Structure formats: C-alpha cells, structure tokens
Amino acid sequence: MANPNLLILYVTDATRSRAFYADLLKRQPIEESPNFSMFILDSGLMLGLWARDKVEPAVTGTGSSSELVFRADADTDVDAAYTDWTALGLTIVQTPVVMDFGYTFVALDPDGHRLRMFAPSVEAGAAQ
C-alpha cells in the first residue's frame, strides 16, 4: 500500500494562503498557479493549497475538521513557535498547555484550518 505524501487544504483565497504559508513555513512553493500552490516540507510531506471554488468535483459544506501538526523537539521550541506565530498575527485558539501527549498550542490559518505545534511528552515520545 502506498503512503500518503500530499495534504491539500481547500482555501478561499489561494494568493493570500500562499503568502501566509510561505511566511509560516519560511519557504516558497515548489509549484504555483493562480488557484493552487504546493510546498514541500522537510519531512517530505507536500502541502497543497487549492482555491475552494476551483476544486473538482466541487466541495460541499463549510468549516474544517482537520489539523496540520508540526512536531517540535522540545517545549522551548513550542514556546519559540508560539512567539513567532503570535508575531505573524495568527489567531491563537489554544495557548501553550501540557496535555496527555505533550506540550502544545493551536493557531488558525486564514481559512480556519487548525495548526497544532507540539513537543511530545517523555512518556508519549517513548511510545513512538
């Protein structure tokens, strides 16, 4: 069975989202058209941003029920990301907190997609 290597988020404004993720990820897209941009992440995962009104077949419904998760090595890295993302003006919906899986916070992209940064707890990290 093949492993997924591309996550696509449907966005309302492809240009705005491209600029947002270029700033957030500190890199430029490897592919770009008026209605689609694709970034390759250090892990090899590709992130696509597709204009919602151009998706075929058409997208129905609203809202997001997914998260793009960024794994950090340490709690201090989570704190640094929180400072950076706050400075970028991201909406923070969960401030840094310890949860059963580790230290985490959640922000939103311009379309309301959740962006979770976390450092696994020692116990959770040992289980992986």
Q: List per-residue pLDDT tens for the chain, 128 residues long.
A: 557 789 999 999 999 999 999 999 999 999 999 999 999 999 999 999 999 999 888 877 766 567 899 999 999 999 999 999 999 999 999 999 999 899 999 999 998 899 999 999 876 444 44
Q: Identify whether residues 113 and 79 lie together within a single domain.
A: yes
Which residue, 87, 27, 79, 104, is CA-closest to 37? 27
In whole angstroms, give the CA distance from residue 39 to residue 42: 10
Residue 26 in domain: yes
Which single residue is written with the structure tokens 């950076």? 84
Q: Identify whether residues 46 and 72 lie together within a single domain.
A: no
Residue 1 in domain: no
Residue 79 in domain: yes
Which single residue is written with the structure tokens 């995962």? 45
Q: Identify whether residues 49 and 78 lie together within a single domain.
A: no
Output the domain CATH number for residue 75: 3.10.180.10
Q: Identify whether residues 12 and 49 lie together within a single domain.
A: yes
Residue 12 in domain: yes
In whole angstroms, give the CA distance from residue 65 to residue 1: 25
For 117, the token pair is 């940064």
Residue 110 in domain: yes
- What's the confidence (pLDDT) of residue 1? 55
Backbone angle region of 102, left / alpha / beta, with phi > 0 → left and psi within -120 to 50 → alpha: left
- What's the confidence (pLDDT) of residue 46? 95
> Model pTM greater than 0.75?
yes
Residues of the domain holding 40: 6-54
Residue 47 in domain: yes
Q: Identify whether residues 21 and 49 lie together within a single domain.
A: yes
In whole angstroms, give the CA distance from residue 26 to residue 43: 15
Structural domain count of the chain: 2
Residue 116 in domain: yes
Output the domain CATH number for residue 25: 3.30.720.120
Residue 95 in domain: yes
